Structure 1
Amino acid sequence: MEADLLGEIVLLAAVTFLSALQNVFFAHKVELESKTQNSKCFQRTGSPAFEKVYCANQNCTDAYPTFLVGLWGAGLFCSQAPAAFAGLMYLLVRQKYFVGYLGESTQSTPGYIFGKRIIAFLFIMYAAGVINYFAIVLFGTDFLVHIQTVTKASSALLLIP
């Protein structure tokens, strides 16, 4: 691959790699909890602790494809750096959600809401990039510089809980 192309996706690839490692961590937690049940085969029911960790892992797994589509779409069609920053924030929020889910049920709510906001940001970036592409093809007008300026400035707002 060309160095230019790799430079355009390296941050997205790094965030994707970190998210895969996080999924391994979550799956490991489920495996550890299933072993504490002294069961010979993997079961979906068991102690309340196992059910919490299994459910938290399943919820994170269900949202994972949506996150990846938003991350890569926003990074490729709009701007890599803000998309990668939002992706890192999502991983931190997902970790907070997972850990919060293992405690009281109200502890996971902030992570869930914050995660939805980050995914919405990624999809807005994605949509703006795709619309800009069609504006270039149909009208010859390129708004990408303006869109990138707005997304770079607004990505800092993701730090506000």
Structure 2
Amino acid sequence: MLSIVVEHIFLLVIVTLISVLQNAFFATKVEGEGKEHNNKTAFERVSCANRNCMDSYPTFLAVMWCAGLCLNQAPAAFAGIIYLVARQKYFVGYMGQTSQSTPGFLFGKRVLAFLILMCIVGIFNFLLVRYLGNDYKDTMETITNAASALLLIP
């Protein structure tokens, strides 16, 4: 029984652990800039970028897990990895000019919108099965698998 459960969530677990490592990297960068007392603006930028990433982190985890459990873990985990790349781009961009962080921010918003849409579709399919007896999960999984590749388009 346990192996069946793990089989349906292991990709989500891997992405979650990678995101925890990324958070540790961000915290290390903030700590490193904090120890350098000669550049206060760099510390403020890194600290602000870290706070902004932390503000959206619970939303990311919730929609990734909801999408993975309600619909399909593979495209949800793929979108999660893409989101982590976008968040890294945002963080690094924020340390330079503020305008350099905009592409990462917009890309991250698009990935979150995809994950939210996956959640809605998965919940809608559950309601269809529950109350009407129609199951479109295979069709929806095929569509989301194909649509997740579109996330790579900048």
Question: Shorter chain as normaliser: what TM range?
Answer: over 0.9
1:150 aligns to 2:134 (yes or no) = no
Q: Specify the code of the residue in structure 2 equivalent to 1:109.
A: T
Say whether 1:36 aligns with 2:27.
no
| Among candidates 48, 52, 61, match of residue 55 of structure 1 | 48
Per the normalisation by structure 2, the TM-score is 0.98
Out of 81, 84, 95, the position equivalent to 1:102 is 95
Counterpart Cα distance in 2 of 1:107 and 1:160:
18
More helix by share: 2
Question: 1:108, 1:52 → 2: CA distance?
Answer: 11
Displaced runs of 4 or more, over 6 A: none
Equivalent residue number for residue 22 of structure 2: 22
Look up the equivalent residue of 2:59 and give its one-letter code: T
**1:42-69 per-position Cα deviation (integer Å, ceiling 9, x unaligned):** xxxx711000000000000000000001
Which residue type is aligned with residue 22 of structure 1? Q
Match of 1:43 in 2: none
Seq. identity, %:
55
Q: Give the partner amino acid of 1:28.
A: T
Distance in 1 (CA, whole Å) between partners of 2:35 and 2:141 is 48
Paired with 2:153 and 2:96, the residues of 1 have a C-alpha distance of: 23
Rounded Cα–Cα distance in structure 2 between residues aligned with 1:70 and 1:147: 17
Provide the aligned C-alpha RMSD in A: 1.1
| 1:118-157 equivalences in 2 (<5 Å) | 118-157=111-150
CA distance in 2, matches of 1:107, 1:147: 36
Normalising by structure 1, report the TM-score.
0.93
- Give the match for residue 73 of structure 1: 66
Amino acid at match of 2:71: C
Q: How many residues align?
A: 154
Question: Once the 2 structures are TM-superposed, how far is the Cα of residue 146 of structure 1 from its aligned partner?
Answer: 0.9
Distance in 1 separating the partners of 2:22 and 2:131? 41
The CA deviation at 1:2 is 1.3
CA–CA distance in structure 2, aligned partners of residues 158 and 103 of structure 1? 25
